[in-house]
Amino acid sequence: MGQVCLISGPPGCGKTTWALQRLQQHQGPCAYLRLKGDKKAGLEQGADSGIDLAWLKDQVPRLEEPTPSNGAELKQDNDGLTLIEVQQFHPPSQKGIEGLGDDVRSKLEALQLHPDQLLHFGRDPELPAKDTLEFSKLEAWHTSLARSVWDPNSLSSFWFELVNGAYGDVYRAKGLMNLPDGRAFFCNWMVSQESSQFLPLDTTAPPQGRPSRTSELVVQGKALNPEGMQATINDCLLADDVLAIQQQQLQQQQPTSQG
């Protein structure tokens, strides 16, 4: 039988990083699912914007997303591995999936997923605990950047401002950002870390127009300034005419094949 493993924990504790390492070590078929945990007063969940799934599929191209049909197939496959990630601010009060709330349980039942391993960051020694923080209050903000392309220098400036308090007390920020040369970066920061991660995606898009892949930004913290963040982002994104000029220059710089 295949394995179904569910991990839970607060924002930024390392759930997706741990999942990536586990998936990269696994040689057989695999799937990943992200679910929202129980709602808590004063603690806003980060939006399920597709960032984690897009990043993991880029790094592990064979990765699937569970459905009612393939969920059962993966369980029957002896080499199958399904990882489920749940944002859960506090350790579950009960054992088993009952401790994760009715919403999580009903979604797992609909997908015919029955975890045989449940781990919580900050509780179980199998998981790293260095980035596991306790939150009493947390705000969340999300913006879609679909088909948006950043000016690279402006992206660097915005991110520096973001994690250094220009738009509120930011504890957690992650996003997928497109650049005019066709590259995209997974930008990742947690207040417990010394610095941000800027990790390039393996897949690139041709520098022609606006890419259609996932591009989102999720921010969590206190006293956030959504209007300020959005206004700065709007100033950092390339307009159609500027993007066309930059991409034309990039295309001219590319070596041409000779017959």
- In a domain? residue 159: yes
Region 123-137 average pLDDT: 83
Q: Residue 151 pLDDT more than 80?
A: yes
Are 173 and 111 in a shared domain?
A: no
The rounded distance, in Å, linking the Cα atoms of 212 and 46 is: 23
Are 21 and 60 in a shared domain?
A: yes
Q: Which of 120, 155, 179 marks a domain boundary?
A: 120
Contacts of 138 (CB under 8 A, 6+ apart): 11, 42, 43, 44, 89, 171, 220, 221, 222
- In a domain? residue 130: no
Q: Residue 257 pLDDT more than 60?
A: no
Higher per-residue pLDDT: 218 or 46: 218
Among 113-117, 197-201, 219-223, which is the least confidently predicted range? 113-117
Q: Is 163 left (phi over 0), alpha (psi -120 to 50) or beta?
A: alpha
Q: Which of 56, 90, 120 marks a domain boundary?
A: 120
Which of 55, 6, 1, 72 lies closest to 33 in space, CA to CA? 6
The rounded distance, in Å, linking the Cα atoms of 45 and 138 is: 8
The rounded distance, in Å, linking the Cα atoms of 19 and 6 is: 10
Is the distance from CB of 19 to CB of 85 less than 8 angstroms? yes
Is the distance from CB of 82 to CB of 5 less than 8 angstroms? yes
Is the distance from CB of 142 to CB of 46 less than 8 angstroms? yes
Q: So what's the pLDDT on residue 81?
A: 94
Range of the domain at 195: 139-253
Q: Which of 53, 88, 120 marks a domain boundary?
A: 120
Are 22 and 89 in a shared domain?
A: yes
3-state secondary structure of 156: helix
Which of 173, 102, 187, 175 lies closest to 138 in space, CA to CA? 173
Q: What is the pTM of this model?
A: 0.91
pLDDT band at 192 (very low <50, low <70, confident <90, very high): confident
User: Can you give the CATH number for the domain in which 226 is found?
Assistant: 3.30.1220.10
Q: Residue 153 pLDDT more than 80?
A: yes
Are 50 and 112 in a shared domain?
A: yes
Are 153 and 247 in a shared domain?
A: yes
Are 100 and 161 in a shared domain?
A: no
- In a domain? residue 131: no
Are 110 and 146 in a shared domain?
A: no
Region 181-194 average pLDDT: 93
Region 181-195 average pLDDT: 93
Which of 69, 56, 72, 71 lies closest to 21 in space, CA to CA? 56
Q: So what's the pLDDT on residue 259?
A: 40
Are 115 and 12 in a shared domain?
A: yes
Are 61 and 97 in a shared domain?
A: yes
Q: So what's the pLDDT on residue 71?
A: 65
Query: How many domains in the chain?
Result: 2
Mean pLDDT of the chain: 91
Q: So what's the pLDDT on residue 255?
A: 66
Are 102 and 191 in a shared domain?
A: no
Most confident of 6-10, 188-192, 232-236: 232-236
Are 244 and 148 in a shared domain?
A: yes
* pLDDT per position as a tens digit, 79-90: 899 999 999 888
Are 158 and 68 in a shared domain?
A: no
pLDDT band at 145 (very low <50, low <70, confident <90, very high): very high
Q: Is beta strand 216-222 parallel, antiparallel or unpaired with respect to 169-178?
A: antiparallel
pLDDT band at 44 (very low <50, low <70, confident <90, very high): confident
